[in-house]
Amino acid sequence: MTLTRNTSPIRMRNYGRIIQDMIQVATQEQNAAMRNKMILYIAHSMRQKNMVWNKDQDTSSSRVRDDITRLSNGQLNCNFAEFDQAMQRPLYKMEKNLYQKNRKK
């Protein structure tokens, strides 16, 4: 499976083109278990990007779920138990980095 160069406009600039391309690949996946794993990875990446670019805005699972649905034109479904469990976990890496930066001051 290869990704070709995409020159179409980016639909949501805060996520970037790579998230948009990964969602397109996930919509073409036939195996449901693999597609769900891809959705989880994409959602985790989207949460991290939201924390970087939109510090004051909502980074909840409902926002990520809506954005995945919008970017996939309704083809990807995030209504499975693992998605909700994964979105409830905190992003330790981001919190750890913020803590270390503040500690050095």
> Would 9 be classed as within a structural domain?
no
φ and ψ at 45, to 5 degrees? -65, -40
> Would 33 be classed as within a structural domain?
yes
Higher pLDDT, 8 or 97: 8
> Would 12 be classed as within a structural domain?
no
pTM, two decimals, is 0.72
Query: Which domain, by its residues, includes 46?
Result: 17-104
Rounded distance, CA 81 to CA 88, Å?
A: 11
> Would 30 be classed as within a structural domain?
yes
**Full DSSP string of 1-52:** --PPP--SPPS-TTT-HHHHHHHHHHHH---HHHHHHHHHHHHHHHHHHHHH
- Domain count within the chain: 1
> Would 97 be classed as within a structural domain?
yes
> Would 3 be classed as within a structural domain?
no
Give the amino acid at 56.
D
Per-residue confidence (pLDDT) for residue 28, from 0 to 100: 94
Q: Is the pLDDT of residue 26 over 90?
A: yes
Instruction: Give the burial string for 46-80 (b: 16+ CB within 10 Å, else e).
Output: bbebbeeeeeeeebebebbbebbbebbeeebebee
> Would 10 be classed as within a structural domain?
no
Q: Is the pLDDT of residue 62 over 90?
A: no
